[in-house]
Structure 1
Amino acid sequence: MLEPDYYYVIVGGGLAGLQLASCFSNDVFFKGKKIAIIEPTEKIENDKTWCFWQNTSGKWDHLISKSWKKASFFSSETEKILDLGDYSYNMIRSSDFYQNVKSELEASEDFVFIKDRIEKVDPVTRTAIGKKNNYTATHFFDSRVTDDYQEDPKTSILYQHFKGWVIETKDTVFVPETFTMMDFRLKYKDSTSFTYILPLTKNKALVEFTFFTPYLTDDNVYDEMLGKYLREILKLKSWKVTETESGLIPMTDYPFHKNNSAYITKIGTGGGWVKASSGYSFKNTERKVEKIIENIKRGLLPSEDLFNKNFARYDAIFLDVLSHRNDLGEQLFTKFYTKNAIEDIFRFLDEETSFSENLKIMLSLYHPEFIKSFFRKL
């Protein structure tokens, strides 16, 4: 094989691609290895808001724009305020993340940004085929999401889809110290749907209407539900929308890792790095990236042992339940947040809990549908 153009090619300059590139740049082991990040867009707008919990200091603390130590949970019959204890719930704007990491990488001679859309990665010729050019490398980290997961009959699929408004009000409406994890007091018919609020000040907040459903919906539905929530739940007579954001995240037990090979490692959403049962990705991505770095330095395939099979099974059963009975979402999440300590919830979602702790949480969610799902997945 001829000398490749790059040592590594990272296909996609989003969360996973830039976190991986940042770890490469901060480890002397990778010094002198030419790395290309190929992304079709400039990635300068604030197209996402990432949130995560942590109970220690972290690498991205300097980018946190807002933190909360309390959370509220509302169902149609329950209201609970959750003290996060040693944890904080943190918000990072994607535009701040993109700018920070790109500035760091542009200062290094080892990294190059290329604006192109990769259509295929050929493992035989070790070539990424783009619309403008082709690029060779010893290994590819590919964040593109293929449609395979939608075609597998054994796969459970929900879509986390949402629209959010950053609104400003004249009256003091919000409690800046407490964010709303889930508010089920307003739901779309027969669905797992809720409102999520990140209060920035007493007069400003990001308010999102979110679905966990096997289907998608029209854009006007989000606007209708957001307006209805602001009028009927928050009792607002007027507000000003200063920003909007929307998203679509697949929540699935499809085995994305089967697309990994000796020369290609799937990363990000395309690698199954989004937590299937919750849709959270920021800290999950950080953990996967750290494991990739460790694997490479040990002489292993980058994709070695990236997934915990036990937690994947828990996620698969939960997704199967909501796929068949999407109307159960409020009931199940109410049990989850009212029958378990918030520290245990966070540790469970971070896949840090023991078998006995997992069993306790799973029993707290019990519904006959879980038995049916267990045997369907078995």
Structure 2
Amino acid sequence: MQDDNHFDYLIIGNGLAGLQLALELSKDPFFKTYTIGLIDPSNKSENDKTWSFWEQGQGKFDAIVEKVWHTAKFESAEVSLTLPLKEYDYKTIRSIEFYNWAKKELSAKDNFKFILDTVQNIEEADGIKVVGDHQSYSANHVFDSRVPKEFYAKESHYTLIHQHFKGWIIETESACFQPEAFTMMDYRFQYKDSTSFIYVLPFSETKALVEYTFFTPFLVETEVYEEALKNYLKTEYQLSNFQILETEVGNIPMTDFPFWNYHTENITKIGTGGGWVKGSTGYSFKHTEKHVAKIIENIKAKKSPSHQLFKKKFKFYDKIFLKVLHDENEKGVWIFESFYSKNSIRTMFRFLDEETTFSEDLGIMKSLFSMAFIKAFFKVLFKS
């Protein structure tokens, strides 16, 4: 008799990583006889975030993309850039559209099961037992997106930059936005010599996501974000009256914490809990897509799912960048000014996608060459 609470694979967390992994498993005929459970305390019925990413040509998620841009802007007190993206598209997806689409796709598969429960712990003594609030489950392998408890306990041992933000999706009565270009970073409204900037995604002439973002070792009060947003809208668009349709808040860890050390033979850490968020940028959407593809490749090759998920040189680069931001946070404006003004879009995106050759890496390093990076390099080197 088949145990309804036993699965070949159990995915803990129906966020970006868990659902992308499930979707790819569902598409591959290799896994059509595998039973796969997805467990999460939420039914994912709300729009809780916005994912933006660049890619070339058509992508897997074009059917649910909210908006595509072909031009980016960068602003600071010293630099004003308009950057044609050329062969790249910058795309945005609302999380609710992704959740609904993924649930519809997976619910149509007989070998997938959604479970509404909160996981308390995993026991590996005799097989794999996943203990939830409501009941327990067993699996041959678990993909776990929860952040390891050790991350919070050992936080001080590693470099941590908080990418924290608050944004509003606003609508205006009259046309004021230019929807053909988005603003990647506007540093003219930075907070007390910190790496903080405004990010704008104009969906139409009257609707946009306007977000105030920090890359800092510290956090701020809610009022700081809101005052900056109001000031920006009044200064740049002469807006004092507008309707806030949605509010988005978050705190993404940008860190060199070794999440990958928490894999076991039967548990693979994924998503934020697996270190899939790029340490130096906080970007995760396309990196998740790549990691999912590698996991599936590994399984089919009878290797550990976590085999060679990361490229060590880029983890080293991220450590250096994070160290600079941590020790000299005010240098962030100069870093991004240099990065965007001295490199081509193709080189920058390839570098952030971890696809560059070492010669291309040297070009990036040359554009950012400074005493701050030299000091950070040796601090990271000797710490390693």
Q: Shorter-chain-normalised TM-score: which range? A: over 0.9
Residue in 2 aligned with 1:362?
Answer: 365
Q: Name the amino acid aligned to 2:265.
A: A
Moved more, 130-139 or 303-312: 130-139
Residue in 2 aligned with 1:203?
Answer: 206
Moved more, 367-376 or 346-355: 367-376
Moved more, 120-129 or 186-195: 120-129
CA distance in 1, matches of 2:159, 2:342: 26
> What is the CA-CA distance between 1:84 and the residue it aligns to?
0.2
Unaligned 5+ runs, structure 1: none
Task: For 1:297-336, list aligned pairs within 5 A.
Answer: 297-336=300-339
1:149, 1:155 within 8 Å by CA — same for their partners in 2? Answer: no
CA distance in 2, matches of 1:67, 1:308: 29
1:12, 1:142 within 8 Å by CA — same for their partners in 2? Answer: yes
> What is the CA-CA distance between 1:220 and the residue it aligns to?
1.9
Is structure 2 residue 129 aligned with structure 1 residue 130? no
Classify 1:157/1:15 alpha carbon distance in 2 versus 1 (closer, same or farther; 3 Å): same
CA distance in 1, matches of 2:313, 2:180: 35
> What is the CA-CA distance between 1:235 and the residue it aligns to?
2.5
2:355 to 352, 355, 359: 352
Is structure 2 residue 107 aligned with structure 1 residue 106? yes
Q: Name the amino acid aligned to 1:157.
A: L
Residue in 2 aligned with 1:239?
Answer: 242
> What is the CA-CA distance between 1:45 and the residue it aligns to?
0.8
Where 2:167 maps in the other structure, the secondary structure is strand
> What is the CA-CA distance between 1:114 and the residue it aligns to?
0.5
Residue in 2 aligned with 1:48?
Answer: 49
Residue in 1 aligned with 2:180?
Answer: 177
Deviations 1:82-116 (A, max 9, x none): 00000000001100100001111111110111111
Deviations 1:7-58 (A, max 9, x none): 1100000100000000110011111211110000110111110011011211
Residue in 2 aligned with 1:12?
Answer: 13
2:18, 2:270 within 8 Å by CA — same for their partners in 1? Answer: yes
> What is the CA-CA distance between 1:187 and the residue it aligns to?
0.8
Q: Name the amino acid aligned to 2:116.
A: K
Task: For 1:115-154, list aligned pairs within 5 A.
Answer: 115-125=116-126, 126-150=128-152, 151-154=154-157
> What is the CA-CA distance between 1:377 and the residue it aligns to?
0.9
Deviations 1:255-299 (A, max 9, x none): 100001110000000000011111111110000000000000000
CA distance in 1, matches of 2:149, 2:10: 22
1:164 to 155, 167, 185: 167
Where 2:189 maps in the other structure, the secondary structure is coil
Residue in 2 aligned with 1:71?
Answer: 72
> What is the CA-CA distance between 1:154 and the residue it aligns to?
4.1
> What is the CA-CA distance between 1:152 and the residue it aligns to?
4.7
Aligned-CA RMSD value: 1.3
Q: Name the amino acid aligned to 1:20.
A: L
1:123, 1:264 within 8 Å by CA — same for their partners in 2? Answer: no
Deviations 1:154-175 (A, max 9, x none): 4110011111101112232211
Residue in 2 aligned with 1:271?
Answer: 274
Where 2:240 maps in the other structure, the secondary structure is coil
Moved more, 30-39 or 150-159: 150-159
Task: For 1:284-295, list aligned pairs within 5 A.
Answer: 284-295=287-298
Moved more, 213-222 or 31-40: 213-222
CA distance in 2, matches of 1:262, 1:147: 19
CA distance in 2, matches of 1:128, 1:23: 23
Where 1:162 maps in the other structure, the secondary structure is strand
1:166, 1:204 within 8 Å by CA — same for their partners in 2? Answer: yes
Residue in 2 aligned with 1:213?
Answer: 216
2:374 to 341, 352, 371: 371
> What is the CA-CA distance between 1:153 and the residue it aligns to?
4.5
Percent of matched pairs sharing the same residue: 51
Is structure 2 residue 296 aligned with structure 1 residue 283? no
TM-score by length of 2: 0.96
CA distance in 2, matches of 1:160, 1:153: 17
Where 1:307 maps in the other structure, the secondary structure is coil
> What is the CA-CA distance between 1:190 and the residue it aligns to?
2.3
What number of residue pairs does the alignment pair up?
A: 377
> What is the CA-CA distance between 1:121 and the residue it aligns to?
1.6
